[in-house]
Amino acid sequence: MLTGNILTSDFLRKGSALIGLRYRLIWAQARSSQGMISVLLALYLLGVLAAVLISFGGAGAAIAAIALGKAESISRWMLTSLYANGFGLSLLFGFGARAAFTDGALRRFPFAARQRFLIRHGIGIFDPVWTLLICGALGLAVGMFWLKAGSLVPGLVAAFLFIFASYLTTASLLAIVNRLMQTRGGTAILWGGALTIFSVGPLLLQSLDPVRLRLVWRLVDMALRWMPPGVAAGMMVGPIRWSMAGRLVILVLWIILLALFLRWIEHRPIKSGTDADGIEPIMALEADVIGQVGALFGRRYGPLVDKSLRYHLRCNLIRYSLITSPLLVVVIQFLNSKSAPGGFLFASVLIFYILSCATAAGMMLNLLGFDGAGVRRYAVIPASLGDALRAGSLASMILRLMVVLMAFVFWIILYWKEPKSWRMVLMLVGIALTGTIIYNAIGLWISIFSAKAVDFDSMWNNRLSLGANVAMLVGVVVPYALGAVLVDRLGRAAFMEFYDQFWWTPWVTALLAAVLYLLSFHNLDNALRLKAESVIRRIAGAH
């Protein structure tokens, strides 16, 4: 068992002190200028989430009062959606314990291995995201009791245990993904998995007739009954009865199994493919593809482009973004409104624009951020910090163009049945080029004025600086919203008319973007001269 005689008062006191420290660190981060955006976003999302949760809880309770027969089913699906929210937010905002609370960091304190496990995940579950979800689950339980659709004590117990189970499931899933990302073959497995889930899955569901589709949903619903959301929902609804004890046992068993699985997966050694490839290091200097690509950029930029490509292609987050971005074209099938004219074109335009802006944004909008203390080297070698930035931007451009090319190939294969024309292809290429070039131009300036040190190994976090967050929000959301509103107001027919006459305009914007990029490329040195010391200090830290 995980517990035993390890839950001593001394352990609980130290554990709660560390949880308190976690919150103090969150506050300290929020007080820095770089952290302000996290606070604003977090507050916004907390507000939205709180509203959603309250309405969910209220609606669930109201429905339960009206139709007692469906209360359990609705609660089951509501708890499932709560879990999905927790998983998504954990991915977005970083998950559980940070570097200061890793197993390695906790080893300096007098804790046993099991105590360290409990502390790490205790800190994780008291993260703001999960605290909110606890409120949501408790709200549902209280709502059921209030409307006389459930009992209070079993409901509250079920809510707490459900959150524990959800947290452990999320932690296990992310631990698996983290481990896969650190192995060479793991990236391909993840890519295949994502491809299957997002493309084959929906396509299969679409191909089913309504009767079979209902059967599939019934089977999913039945499976959910034995999973934590279903078991917890069963405990929240109805009067106290003996069957609740059975559900309690199932829920506790789930928690024990998930905790054991999490411990097992965390203790498995990571077999990294990158350090044991058997290539003689000195030989590798001669026969290296990245080196050959770098050499194309001459003596001034070649070594820096080579370094930037090598560095970013070794970052799990960047690799993940580069590999999964072309899969975004799969989403076109969901946006494609077949009843409206030009639905496929409109969806393709949106996706290729977003793809060209958002791919590996962490690299493009913070070109030196991954270097850590290494950023000081640019100041002492015979190159300017501006050269390092320009080379990073060229590397970013190369990677992004490769992604766009892959996405086009994928788009042609996946939608081979859809009608296409050369004008459509040229328009999409123009849009992808515009996004790629303009965002790399902006990236040069944001890397100077809003540089941020980035944890190279951290997989799940918002790594963008204040400026980068603003650029992403404004650059992606505003054009998307504008496009959607315009098409909604003017109608798809107007969009198609515009396309027929002005399909070439993205090439004009791409040209203008190229001018902006070249101007930025050649004129950033004066700004950098003023900001160089502060950029280095921000990324490398003060020495």
Partner 1 sequence: MNESMMQSPDGVAIRIDHLTKRYGEFTAVDGMTLEVPKGRLFGFLGPNGAGKSTTIGCLTGLLDPTSGFVELLGERFSSDSIDLKRRIGVMPEGLALFDQLYAHEFLAFNGRMYGLEESVIRQRVAELIGALDLTAASRKRLADYSTGMRKKVAFAAAIIHRPEILFLDEPFESIDPAGVAMLKDWLRRFVSDGRTVFMTTHVLETVERLCDDVAIIKGGQLAWRGELDCLGKGGTLECDGEQFSTLEALFLHLVGERYNHLDWL
Distance CA 332, CA 342 (A): 12
Nearer to partner 1, 192 or 374 (CB): 374
Nearer to partner 1, 161 or 368 (CB): 368
Nearer to partner 1, 500 or 533 (CB): 533
Nearer to partner 1, 38 or 187 (CB): 187
From the CB of residue 500, how many other CB atoms can be counted at a distance below 10 Å?
Answer: 10
What secondary structure does DSSP assign to 159-204, as a single string? HHHHHHHHHHHHHHHHHHHHHHHTSHHHHHHHHHHHHIIIIIHHHH
**Cβ(362)–Cβ(464) below 8 Å:** yes
Binding-site ranges for partner 1 (CB under 8 A) = 274-277, 281-282, 284-286, 299, 302-304, 306-307, 310-311, 314-315, 370-377, 379-384, 456, 529, 532-533, 536, 540, 543
Structure tokens at 8: 């001593």
Among 398, 436, 424, smallest CA distance to 503 is for: 424
238, β-bridge pairs: 150
Q: How far is the CB of 529 from partner 1 (least distance, A)?
A: 8
Nearer to partner 1, 266 or 387 (CB): 387
Q: How far is the CB of 317 from partner 1 (least distance, A)?
A: 12
Nearer to partner 1, 210 or 281 (CB): 281
Q: Degrees (nearest 5) of the Cα angle 141, 142, 148?
A: 95
Helical segments of 360-384, H only: 361-364, 377-380
**Cβ(41)–Cβ(185) below 8 Å:** no
- Length of the chain (residues): 543
150, β-bridge pairs: 238
Q: How far is the CB of 307 from partner 1 (least distance, A)?
A: 5
Q: How far is the CB of 392 from partner 1 (least distance, A)?
A: 12
Nearer to partner 1, 35 or 302 (CB): 302
Q: How far is the CB of 541 from partner 1 (least distance, A)?
A: 8
Q: How far is the CB of 377 from partner 1 (least distance, A)?
A: 4
What secondary structure does DSSP assign to 440-456, as a single string? HHHHHHHHHHT-----T
Q: How far is the CB of 182 from partner 1 (least distance, A)?
A: 12
Structure tokens at 432: 């992808």
